[in-house]
Amino acid sequence: MENVLKEVIAKLKTKKNKYCRITHRKGWSEYLKDGDMVFTPHDLHQILIEIVDLMRPRGEMLLCPRKKTNFTVTDKDKPCRVEEALERFITLSNADNFCNQFPLRGRKESSDIAILNENSRHVLIELKPFQSGNTPLYAMLESLKNLVEYRTIKEKKIKYHNDFKQFHEADLIVLAPVSYYQDYCLIDSSGSSITNHLQTVKRSLDDLSAEFKTDLSFMVLPLDESLFYDRCRIICGKYKKTRELESIDIRVDDAMPELKRDKWQLLVSSASNLI
């Protein structure tokens, strides 16, 4: 078994009217209409615990609070992987307690971004780019999988990296630009929230929060796609030395103020009522 979430979805009851409500866009659309995730939060929790225990976290880098600053650039001075570049810029643009690619199982299974707080709950962040084939429900399951892996490391006393200082409970955020939420009908073309759809999501978040004992939120990055690419092009042009694929490292003075934590906007959360 290589992919924890793939194994979890295979064991979980997810289909209604032939479509998986987690992975299929049509299934997501029907979920917004009737609010039925098909599976129960308890079943999801138990299956996650079972699969994560079978595929236990391992590796000398577990929980290493690293801050990667490199990403690969094309011959057009554009990131090869937009999500990777966005993740690097978000981490770079925020406080020192932000890290990225926070290792939770070994190989490439990590939380995209983690906020490691000294005296309060940590935050594990699942990042989505401007367009993605992953539905919001899939993104939230990725976050819950990360939470169970994080808790398993503590509960099973699995060896982790020396630079990780303190276990606190963790809350979860799915973070994405406006266009991602527009693609999945949570924000309309004018930028306004689609209230009835958010009410559906809110009920699911509340149920998942009660089962997993964590706060779950969807948050919006207020960054325009064309602006991000323009900034990337300028920054990549500073460091790129060839016209081929090339890995570059960005620096503190490349930070984007629009990506700072206080600019993120709450869309819907288990911890607060809809406005």
Instruction: Give per-residue pLDDT as tens, 5-64.
Output: 999 999 999 999 999 999 999 999 999 999 999 999 999 999 999 999 999 999 999 999
**Does residue 271 or residue 103 have the better pLDDT?**
103
In this structure, is residue 195 part of a structural domain?
yes
In this structure, is residue 137 part of a structural domain?
yes
Q: What is the pLDDT of residues 70-95, one digit of tens each?
A: 999 987 788 999 999 999 999 999 99
In this structure, is residue 245 part of a structural domain?
yes
Q: What is the pLDDT of residues 205-251, one digit of tens each?
A: 999 999 999 999 999 999 999 999 999 989 988 887 777 788 999 99
In this structure, is residue 274 part of a structural domain?
no
Element holding 139 (H helix, E strand): helix 136-155
Give the pLDDT of residue 275.
61
Region 104-130 average pLDDT: 93
Region 135-162 average pLDDT: 97
Q: Pick from 113, 93, 139, 107: which is nearest to 268 by CA?
A: 139
In this structure, is residue 47 part of a structural domain?
yes
Tell me how far apart the alpha carbons of residues 111 and 63 are, in angstroms, rounded to a whole number: 10
- Give percent of the chain with pLDDT exceeding 70: 99
**Does residue 224 or residue 106 have the better pLDDT?**
224
Region 115-125 average pLDDT: 96
In this structure, is residue 180 part of a structural domain?
yes
Tell how far CA 144 is from the center of its chain.
10
Give the pLDDT of residue 155.
96
Q: Give the count of domains, the chain.
A: 1
Mean pLDDT of all residues belonging to the chain: 94
Structural domain that includes position 8? 4-269
* pLDDT bucket at 272, cuts 50 / 70 / 90: confident
Which position has the token pair 């099973």?
A: 156
Q: In the Cβ-directed half-sphere of 245, how many Cα atoms lie within 13 Å? A: 4
In this structure, is residue 46 part of a structural domain?
yes
Q: What angle do CA 154, 113, 233 make, to 5 degrees?
A: 160
Give the pLDDT of residue 241.
76
In this structure, is residue 275 part of a structural domain?
no
Q: What is the pLDDT of residues 168-204, one digit of tens each?
A: 999 999 999 999 999 999 999 999 999 999 999 999 9
* pLDDT bucket at 109, cuts 50 / 70 / 90: confident
